[in-house]
Amino acid sequence: QVQLVESGGGLVQAGGSLRLSCAASGRPFSFYAMSWFRQAPGKHREFVAAITSSGGGTNYAESVKGRFTISRDSANNRMYLQMNSLKPEDTGVYYCAASRLGRATVRAYDYRDWGQGTQVTVSS
C-alpha cells in the first residue's frame, strides 16, 4: 500500500493556473502508475490524467487536453498536475491515485490507493 497526500488546491479565476502536488510514501513509488481524478458536487468522480510507472506514457481526459500536464518525480516520490487556462467546470475535489498495473489506465477501479483530495475552485 502507498499513502498519498495532495496539496496545491485553491481558489483561482477563470484563465488562471494552479499546480497540484501528490506526495507518496510507503511502497516504492516507481512501482505505481499514478493518476488524477476529480469530483464536482453532485457528480461522479471522473478521470483527469494518468502517467505510467516509468513516466514514459501519459493519458488525458479530452476536456483537459492541451491545458493540463501530468508529471512525476520518482526520485522524490511526487507527482504533479499543472493546470492552465482553468475553467469554472474544472471546479471540484482533485484526488491522486496509485495503481500497481503500471499503465496509465483511465478506470478508477484500477487504482487501489487514493489520497484525501484537494479542493480546486475556479470562479468565472
What's the mean pLDDT when you consider all of the chain? 96
Which residue, among 46, 122, 42, 49, has the nearest Cα to 89 in the 3D structure? 122
Query: Distance between CA 31 and CA 45 in Å, rounded?
Result: 24
User: Mind listing the pLDDT tens digit for each residue in 50-83?
Assistant: 999 999 999 999 999 999 999 999 899 999 999 9
Strands 10-13, 118-123: pairing is parallel
Q: DSSP class of residue 14?
A: T
User: Mind listing the pLDDT tens digit for each residue in 99-114?
Assistant: 999 899 999 999 999 9
